[in-house]
Amino acid sequence: DRDDNDRDDDDRYDNDRDDNDRDDGNDSDNDSFYRRASKPDKTKKPKTPKKPKMPKKPKTPKTPKTPKKPTKPKTPKKPTKPKMPTKPTTPTTPKAGFEQQILDAHNQYRAIHKAPPLVWDPKAATHGNNWIQACQFKHSQNRQFGENLAYGYKDFPTAIKAWYDEERLYNYNNPSFSMATGHFTQVVWKSTKAVGCAVKYCDGYRSMYICNYSPPGNMMGRFGDNVEPPRRKA
């Protein structure tokens, strides 16, 4: 019996070994399969050659600009003829009643010295207007008219009052001409009959005032007859 058992055991052993050997063989085949499958193929794909660049089109040369024709030198302009002075215009009245305002201012002071009232003289006004257009603060040296000038005052009545205010400096005991009182004596000169005035705005002077009197006053040797003492103070 023991021998039979031993043989049986040997047969089982051989069978097991054969099975193991078959298994081992399968494993090695499987391992080699997996190794082959997992390893990437080292052979690189051939790169596709890049397309050759096309040569750039040659730039067309710019057409040379035609040189500008030399410009003819400008002929110098003929000197313009100086404008002829315009004909004197009658002075414009800045406000309504301009002439009357001037006459009233003169005549109120003349009445104090017994001198007759003045009337408006258009020729005297035109002469004065023409003269002050140059904005020169000096007398015109026209012997046809007596002349008073002023500048910087707000209006004619204020300027005429400034002329008359020289009266306080006049010496009635020695009636004669003086530079300090010449405006006053012309305002109240008894023989003067008419007056014409004008005003102009001048830079540096503001407003310039001029009055021309006819006939002219301040005549030498006639002050006693033409400049009387005041009846009362203005």
Domain of 147 in residue numbering reads as: 98-226
Sequence-ordered alpha helix ranges (H) in 120-207 = 122-132, 156-164, 182-187
Helix and strand numbers (H, E) in the chain are: 6, 4
Report pTM. Answer: 0.59
Decide: 208 and 130 in contact? Cβ < 8 Å. Answer: no
Decide if 205 is inside a domain: yes
pLDDT at 81 over 70: no
- Number of domains into which the chain is organized: 1
Q: Round to whole Å and give the CA distance between 102 and 156.
A: 7
Decide if 23 is inside a domain: no
Using pLDDT thresholds of 50, 70 and 90, give the confidence band for residue 142. Answer: confident
pLDDT score at 166: 98
3-state helix, strand, coil in the chain (%, to 5): 35, 10, 50
Q: Over the stretch 100-117, which tens digit does the pLDDT of each residue have?
A: 999 999 999 999 999 999
Decide if 87 is inside a domain: no
Phi, psi of 202, rounded to the nearest 5 degrees: -130, 135
Decide if 67 is inside a domain: no
Decide if 198 is inside a domain: yes
pLDDT at 74 over 70: no
Decide the pairing of beta strands 119-120 and 194-202: parallel
Decide if 220 is inside a domain: yes
Decide if 92 is inside a domain: no
Using pLDDT thresholds of 50, 70 and 90, give the confidence band for residue 141. Answer: confident
Decide if 34 is inside a domain: no
CATH number reported for the structural domain that contains residue 213 in this entry: 3.40.33.10
